[in-house]
Amino acid sequence: MKKNLILRIIGIGMFHAFLYLYLVPFVIYPKFGNNGFKFAVAVAIIISIAVLGTLFIRKKNNRREK
């Protein structure tokens, strides 16, 4: 369980690093401007919440089976 949590947090960190260090400044911002930046931030936050949420859903289902 802890291994999954650590891997997911590292994965989210890598996703955010790629997004904010490359994708947003060099691809999204020049093409779409400030609205594109806001949209990219919103999508990143939603994806992060969804990935962490799946961890708690799996934990909840395992308790019911036992």
* Tens digits of residue pLDDT in 13-48: 898 888 888 988 898 888 898 898 898 889 888 988
Q: Check: CB of residue 35 under 8 Å from CB of residue 56.
A: no
The answer to whether the pTM exceeds 0.75 is no
For residue 64, what pLDDT band results from cuts at 50, 70 and 90?
low
Res 7: pLDDT = 86
Q: Check: CB of residue 47 under 8 Å from CB of residue 15.
A: yes
Among the listed residues 43, 59, 52, the one whose alpha carbon sits nearest the alpha carbon of residue 7: 52
